[in-house]
Amino acid sequence: MKKDVVVIGGGPGGYVAAIRAAQSGKNVVIIDNGGLGGTCLTRGCIPSKALITAADRLEMIRHSSQLGIDVNGDITVDLQRVMEWKNGLIKKLTSGVASLLKANQVEVYSGTATFIDNQTIQVNTTGQSHKFQFYHCIIATGAKPAELQILPFDGDKVISSTEALQLQSVPQKLLIVGGGYIGLELGIAYQKLGSEVTILEGLSQVLPGVDSTLVRVVTKRLKQLGINVKTNAKVTGGNTDGDGVEIQAAINGSEQHFRADQALVAVGRVPNTADLGLENTLVETDEKGFIRVDSQLRTTENHIFAIGDVAGGPLLAHKASFEGKIAAEVINREDVEVDYRAMPYVIFSDPEIAYTGLQPKEAEEQGYDPMVSRMAFQANGRALTLGKDSGFIQIVSDKPTQQILGVQIVGPEASTLISEAVIAIEMEMSAEDLGLMIHAHPTLPEVLQEAAEGVLNQAIHMVNKNPALSR
């Protein structure tokens, strides 16, 4: 029997696509070889946030005396028990995914899939082989950690994020190669758990590509935590002889040596396309191996789609889920396509960073007359009661129309606050619209409201800087 839709990959893109296709009455098969939930649930988003939560809780306990709460005795970290707790969360979530697929009558196969031709795949499971013909296929195989040739992974002393989320003890010294969001999030977590962390970043700032005004707030916090950050650091070599790992790096023209118990290499991710048999189809990839797609996620084979990390662009779980729904709806002959205008980006650093829409420079490049209004968390009562008042919310609006074009946040709960900003941009709200919304007090979203009122020169808890707009 020819299948309506075959989905390759059971991550946040694949399983969402399978369910949405099944909801429209399609006969759907999903094949996954790494555990339902993909990298996000099993080796990325969820386990890393669990580790970050444990580290933040420990940090809170250590500094509770400023609240008048004294904790007597030693505070110890049993990383094995932390990992057991984390694994319990993963099991609960992956079981939930399996139940949802079953409830939607999606056939699930655990194994690897290879294209035999553009309408047939072969699935190899434990001791068995299956062939499926299909009308449509959605490729959602994700990506994996990129490896440095001069410092290959060995799973012990030189590790990827996968192994970093499975450690059974806190390393005394941890060296991180790469200051992007993965390296930064895990570096902060392990520093709080007791490691001595050094981050080597090849470019001029950690979190390359992120607005430097946001990054400066996080950089200040890194110093407070005692994390040693080396920028403009080009790794030139390394070895794992002896008890630990030693890495050489050229920093501003001079070579320096760094030793640690383990080195986490977090220099990006590469798409999982090598073993798909794409050469047996007309599906094209770019120079980095990512599959080329159009605005409806179609590949160069009209009936084969690609979504999520394997299709390139920002490697975000929520982007993959969004694209999974779009691909399934296109297959159902709905007139839809992707729109990334208000895509939220979130970094679970300390403090958190989140942004959506246009940065000021981007707005100007697109022909807008941008106006920026910034409100600090220091003036927010809820931030002060949380003991987390560093950072700000910045709104970028179009001066003639006051339409909100973008929002950038660095501060407490930025990952949650960004959702209101996404709604504002999607609904094409003006700063006045957002400012007129009644926000509960005392809450963190009040900072967003004040930033919007600042566009109008009507903010109450900060000095207004746009007098030309006053009534």
The full set of domains in the chain, from first to last, is 3-145+270-331 (3.50.50.60), 158-267 (3.50.50.60), 345-463 (3.30.390.30)
The binding site for FAD comprises 49, 309
Task: Provide the sign of the torsion angle of the four alpha carbons 438, 442, 445, 448, taken in this order.
Answer: positive
Show the tokens assigned to 454.
Answer: 């600042």
Per residue in 128-170, pLDDT (tens digit) is 898 999 999 999 999 999 999 999 999 999 999 999 999 999 9
7 pLDDT tier (thresholds 50, 70, 90):
very high
Percentage of the residues of the chain whose pLDDT score is greater than 70: 99
Per residue in 80-104, pLDDT (tens digit) is 999 999 999 999 999 999 999 999 9
Answer for the pair 20, 321: CB distance below 8 angstroms, yes or no: no
The binding site for NAD(+) comprises 178-185, 201, 268
Per residue in 376-429, pLDDT (tens digit) is 999 999 999 999 999 999 999 999 999 999 999 999 999 999 999 999 999 999
Average pLDDT over residues 429-443: 97
How many Å apart are CA 182 and CA 180, to the nearest integer? 6
pTM confidence score = 0.95
- Greater confidence (412 vs 241) lies with 412
pLDDT, residue 465, reads 76
Which residues are tagged catalytic?
441
470 pLDDT tier (thresholds 50, 70, 90):
very low
Strand-pair category, 269-271 with 262-265: unpaired
How crowded is residue 109: how many other Cβ atoms within 10 Å of its Cβ?
19
Average pLDDT over residues 341-363: 97
Residue 1 clears pLDDT 80, i.e. is over it:
no
Average pLDDT over residues 347-365: 97
Per residue in 30-75, pLDDT (tens digit) is 999 988 999 999 999 999 999 999 999 999 999 898 889 998 888 8
pLDDT, residue 242, reads 82
Nearest to 356 by CA among 370, 340, 342: 342
pLDDT, residue 127, reads 81
**Hey, what amino acid is at 18?**
A
| Alpha-carbon distances, residue 272 vs 140, 288, 291, 304 (angstroms) | 9, 11, 10, 16
Q: Over the chain, what is the mean pLDDT?
A: 95
Residue 471 clears pLDDT 70, i.e. is over it:
no
